[in-house]
Chain A
């Protein structure tokens, strides 16, 4: 039996409280009126003019890669002008400030969503991994079932919070919910059959129900299996897992359209859902590996060997590469064709978020590849922990870059709202997962593959 160490429990509660305070501060300090924005702009203007004097003649070099490629100064600016959805048509000077006000008010919302979704997707990814283990009748992983179930206990609170955020954020995230904007926009009118609020909420409810019901019943069956002397519960779980995987693949695609792609409703990408899935899956396996190492270091799971850790590390390695493959496929196709309506997505990310955008590639691809390539290193816990930290930070940035450029544009900053949201959800995650792990014995009994799993070696 695992009990959340009291220090860890205290730590999680403290960072939750700190996070809540910081988040409240973030929401309360957003500018309320255009006058506030004008003050902020005036203050920034002062800073800027100082900076410009120093930069001075560096101005010409600010042409970005699209401009250089086209040999046409201002090409990307024009493309952005046409495709940035947050700008209502026919704007003047006043609407620029309105626009800025809107983005500044959106920032605490975005910060909360990034952190909330990051931790929810970990729980969801572990649930998918768990379903795959059942559906593929894996012989190595049954010793990890209780750990996976512990982590997925975060899915219920996590997914409800994310759902509430996307439902109540309204036009902060989703320009298609702005009726005035839709009235003047033929493209959004064409998409209104899918992108309308009632249908959006119904879809959200369906995802929530489907994922959490599978979580509830698979956990129930898995615990019932430990008490029974036949394999009826196991068979039920096998069937449930197969159907959940089908359900998940469909809902994951629509979920990423709904919650992320529709933040920039003029833009679309076909492999976007897969890309989000890859991010979700690799972070989930990483957290699973970290939890396993933590429990192993407490001596609670003697039946889990370094061979199991080796397998988890192999998954981390392989799915880091898979993520990079999808990231690059999406980036390269859009970069190569350079169609204005598609390329805006990357222009804003490269112009305003350059360091994060390319730094994330190093964290998510180069480091895991170098740290985890050697097969001996995959069995050394602290090596896996190092790789895990790189991967988790990298994928937090990945989610940050999905949300922030689309909602707050260039008015981003990694400040109190972002850190507070991260702290709050980290605390909640540790607390819920720790409690979830402590409910039953960590050793799954009577699973048809448990013996094979305990003796697993290669």
Chain B
């Protein structure tokens, strides 16, 4: 199925924000926005759901804490409880102050690294990935809004986008669906 999109290019982030709000108000569907830098409040304006990555990070932190506790309880208390410098290796809690630096570091390590990997996977980023950039200038100083044109009158939509202050408008036809 062929899908048609309209790429509207803006030269200013304030203009882009306004255009995004107007386009949403007019019930057109914005499929993607490309910007060279984070535009404050853009995700809210486009209507993207809040990220849940902080929640995953919290859970990974708990996982890291459990790994640290289980590891040290097994090694230091269960498997070979030696007397090392008079530290009480009878139970976990008696020797806990000595384990806390490791418990803390592993919590942070798991929370940090697994969250980053989750971010890469969810945003489909990896080495040698083919860049998905529709226009090279959007990495420098231009802003691009991609609007679905499938069920709309292209003439009317183009006129509408022109009124929102777009400096370039182009119709893109894609053969394959993705």
Contact = CB atoms under 8 A, between A and B. Distances in A.
Interface residues of A, number: 13
A108 to B, nearest CB: 35
Interface in A345-378: 373, 375
A336 B86 contact: no
Interface in B91-114: 94, 97-98, 100
A216 interface: no
A69 interface: yes
Contact of A69 (B54, B58, B86, B100): B86
Nearest to A333: B97
Given A338-B86, A373-B58, A68 B94 contact: yes
B88 A65 contact: yes
B58 A65 contact: no
A70 interface: yes
B90 interface: yes
Interface of A: 65, 68-71, 328, 331-332, 335-336, 338, 373, 375
Contacts of B100: 328, 332
B88 A68 contact: yes
In the A-B complex, list the 3 residue pairs whose CB atoms are closest, starting with the nearest.
A69-B88, A332-B97, A335-B97
Nearest to B54: A375
B87 interface: yes
Contacts of B83: 71
Contacts, number: 24
Nearest to A335: B97
23 contacts: A65-B88, A65-B94, A68-B88, A68-B90, A68-B94, A69-B86, A69-B87, A69-B88, A69-B94, A70-B86, A71-B83, A328-B97, A328-B100, A331-B97, A332-B97, A332-B98, A332-B100, A335-B97, A336-B97, A336-B98, A338-B86, A373-B58, A375-B54
Interface of B: 54, 58, 83, 86-88, 90, 94, 97-98, 100
Contacts of A69: 86-88, 94
A381 to B, nearest CB: 21
Contacts of A71: 83, 86
Contacts of A331: 97
A227 to B, nearest CB: 36
Interface centre among A65, A69, A335, A375 (most CB of B within 10 A): A69
A338 B94 CA distance: 14
A373 B87 CA distance: 34
Contacts of B98: 332, 336
A373 B100 CA distance: 20
A446 B14 CA distance: 29
Contacts of A68: 88, 90, 94
Given A65-B94, A332-B98, 11 more contacts: A65-B88, A68-B88, A69-B86, A69-B88, A69-B94, A71-B83, A328-B97, A332-B97, A332-B100, A338-B86, A375-B54
A314 to B, nearest CB: 14
B105 to A, nearest CB: 13
Contacts of A375: 54
A71 B94 CA distance: 13
A331 B98 CA distance: 11
A70 B58 CA distance: 39
A404 B90 CA distance: 31
A331 B58 CA distance: 27
Nearest to A374: B54
A375 B58 CA distance: 13
B42 to A, nearest CB: 14
A400 B90 CA distance: 32
Interface centre among B54, B87, B90, B97 (most CB of A within 10 A): B97
A58 to B, nearest CB: 18
Nearest to A70: B86
A331 B83 CA distance: 21
Nearest to B90: A68
A145 B98 CA distance: 43
A71 B58 CA distance: 40
Contacts of A336: 97-98
Contacts of B86: 69-71, 338
A336 B83 CA distance: 14
A332 B54 CA distance: 30
Contacts of B54: 375
A71 B86 CA distance: 8
A417 B100 CA distance: 38
A338 B85 CA distance: 11
Contacts of B97: 328, 331-332, 335-336
A33 B98 CA distance: 47
A336 to B, nearest CB: 7
A336 B97 CA distance: 8
A336 B85 CA distance: 10
Nearest to B88: A69
B76 to A, nearest CB: 14
Contacts of A338: 86
Contacts of A373: 58
Contacts of A70: 86
A69 B58 CA distance: 35
A16 B83 CA distance: 55
Contacts of B88: 65, 68-69
A268 to B, nearest CB: 20
